[in-house]
Amino acid sequence: MIETQDGAELCFPQLFNTSCRKLTPPPFEVMLIHTLLYFISLLTVALNLLVIISVSHFRQLHTPTNILLLSLAVSDFLVGLVLMPGEILRKRSCWFLGDFMCFLNNYLSGIIPVSSIGDMVLISVDRYVAICDPLHYTTRITVNRVKLCVCLCWLYSVSYSLLFVMDDLTQPGRFNSCYGECAFVGHYVVGVIDVVLSFIVPITVIIALYLRVFAVAVSQARAMRSHITAVTLQLSVTPKAKKSELKAARTLGVLIVVFIMCFCPFYSFLLTGDSLVSASSVSYVLFVFYCNSCLNPVIYALFYPWFRKAVKLIVTLQILQPGSCETNML
């Protein structure tokens, strides 16, 4: 429900009895909050677009791990382009886009986070095989297999999320208390099942895999420091290659830790029993949830030299030159 003082301006003046009332916070507060939120949204779009262009354009970056990062960047790009503006519009002003667009916004709010979580699981599996079974990595983890897994991940997200908005699809706007609102109400039991399937189980898998990766990485680091040549020859992996894989594991480990920190508050909120997703108290928690999409490219910039080099080539428009896709990025 939208709570306002009497005499507030209506969203739809012609529907006096059924129209929602506009929120009327202080103008300076509105301007400040809107400016900040839209800046974060624009920054999220721009940074993730750089990741998408980088991995898509430069052929040397077409590796299994980077394909997974590309899928994650697409999810993050959609968060900044669709979900953040939609949330700002829904919480800070009247919803003028109609019931179907409200349904679509709620539907995408399910698809995109679920696909991001799926990408994180796939990234963890990729690092697990790379560190724990390096001899078979190139045969087990191929670009085509990773592309197939990414497609299945998105297909699962689309199908899974549809189950939660089916009622809203058959009766658009059924949860709205007045015209000018975009609300979604979920059953508590269904919400708990969703938290278990889309967060607790995936996070458990991710943590279990990375604990194993961490244990193996520590042992390999000790082996490299000790210059155990016999082990190096037996595994047919050079110390330099090992160091590269360990660095990638650490970088993606940071990515996953930040991911968990941003996602936990939102799913913890869902478990408290308040299933009214349109409640104003969810907005700030939800934006922390979405801000993970802005932080991911920043992590790439801090830890991946190839991303910094790619950004420089993109910003200076050198990618428009013939043959630029063959540039050495590593």
Q: Would you say residue 1 lies in a domain?
A: no
Helices (H), 79-200: 84-92, 98-132, 137-140, 143-170, 188-195
What would the mean pLDDT of 161-174 be, rounded to a whole number?
A: 78
Q: Would you say residue 16 lies in a domain?
A: no
* CA gap 305, 301 in Å, rounded: 7
Q: For 272-320, what is each residue's pLDDT tens digit?
A: 655 444 445 566 777 778 888 888 888 887 888 889 999 999 999 999 8
44 pLDDT exceeds 80? yes
pTM: 0.83
Q: Would you say residue 4 lies in a domain?
A: no
| Confidence category of residue 168, pLDDT binned at 50, 70, 90 | confident
In a 10 Å sphere around its CB, with 0-12 CB exposed, 13-18 middle and 19+ buried, how is residue 290 labelled? buried
pLDDT at res. 169 = 74
Tally of CB atoms within 10 A around 299? 17
CATH number of the domain where residue 232 is located: 1.20.1070.10
Q: For 9-36, what is each residue's pLDDT tens digit?
A: 777 777 666 777 776 666 666 677 778 8
Q: For 118-166, what is each residue's pLDDT tens digit?
A: 998 999 899 889 888 888 888 999 999 999 999 999 999 999 988 888 8
96 pLDDT exceeds 60? yes
Q: Would you say residue 100 lies in a domain?
A: yes
Q: How far is CA 66 from the centre of its chain?
A: 15
pLDDT at res. 247 = 65
Q: Would you say residue 231 lies in a domain?
A: yes
Residues forming a β-bridge with 185: 276
Angle at 259 between CA 253 and CA 265, to 5 degrees: 140
Domain count, the chain: 1
Query: Three-state SS for 174?
Result: coil
Mean pLDDT (the chain, rounded): 80
Q: Would you say residue 172 lies in a domain?
A: yes
pLDDT at res. 244 = 61
Its domain, for residue 62, covers: 27-326
What would the mean pLDDT of 101-108 be, rounded to a whole number?
A: 87
Listed in sequence order, the residues at least 6 apart from 322 whose beta carbon sits closer than 8 Å to its beta carbon are: none
pLDDT at res. 275 = 46
What would the mean pLDDT of 2-9 be, rounded to a whole number?
A: 50
- The DSSP annotation for 202-215 comes to HHHHHHHHHHHHHH
pLDDT at res. 142 = 93
What would the mean pLDDT of 222-234 be, rounded to a whole number?
A: 56
Q: Kindly state the tokens that stand for 48.
A: 């993730």
pLDDT at res. 12 = 73
Q: Would you say residue 228 lies in a domain?
A: yes
What would the mean pLDDT of 189-204 be, rounded to a whole number?
A: 84
